[in-house]
Amino acid sequence: MIRKWFIPIVSLAVLFAVAPVWAAKSVAVLPNVSLTAQHPEESDMSNEHKHHKGKMTRKDFEAYRLEKLKELATYFGIQAEGKTAEQLKKEVEAAKLANKDKWEAFKAEHQAKRLEHLRNIAKEHGIKTEGKTSEQLREELFQLHGGKGKRPHRLEDHDRANEENESKQKAKQSEV
């Protein structure tokens, strides 16, 4: 029995004796990479981590979000000076619930701006825009650029979510 385990025990002992020396040599050969490069600190976050396929940094995204909240706040007549994004968000949500007609008008204005923007882009690409909805224009622009990405799948999810929301709203109205 001792003969059977002698060679594996000796080889393990040699391996454990040499491992620290071998590891020290391999660390000396590796380039000097600090852990902050692998895990950036909060100050490095704006330089490293980006939103929307690398086009916006976290700081840019927060500024964009605050700008949009201020736009909504001025539309609803809310004072936006000196308030944080969270405070503005809560006040805007309350205003949306209180003034549903005004909120629907804001959404309609925003959709009209988006449609006009899509029409301008479509005209630049030589697409006729008369009588087409924003979804049709987006689809034609999407096909023009080769149909990249998973856009049709996303449209199906979006349409399904809209149908579910409409059915929930109808159910709530029927209960009342």
pTM score above 0.75? no
The tens-digit pLDDT sequence of the chain (176 residues) is 677 888 888 888 887 887 776 666 665 555 554 444 444 444 444 455 555 556 788 888 888 999 999 999 999 999 988 888 899 999 999 999 999 999 999 999 999 999 999 999 888 888 888 888 889 888 888 888 776 654 444 555 556 666 776 777 777 777 76
Query: What is the gyration radius of the CA atoms in the chain, in angstroms?
Result: 30
How is residue 46 written in tokens?
């704006």
Rounded Cα distance, 41 and 22, in Å: 32
Distance CA 135, CA 122 (A): 12
CB atoms within 10 A of CB 40: 14
Contact 131, 147 (CB under 8 A): no
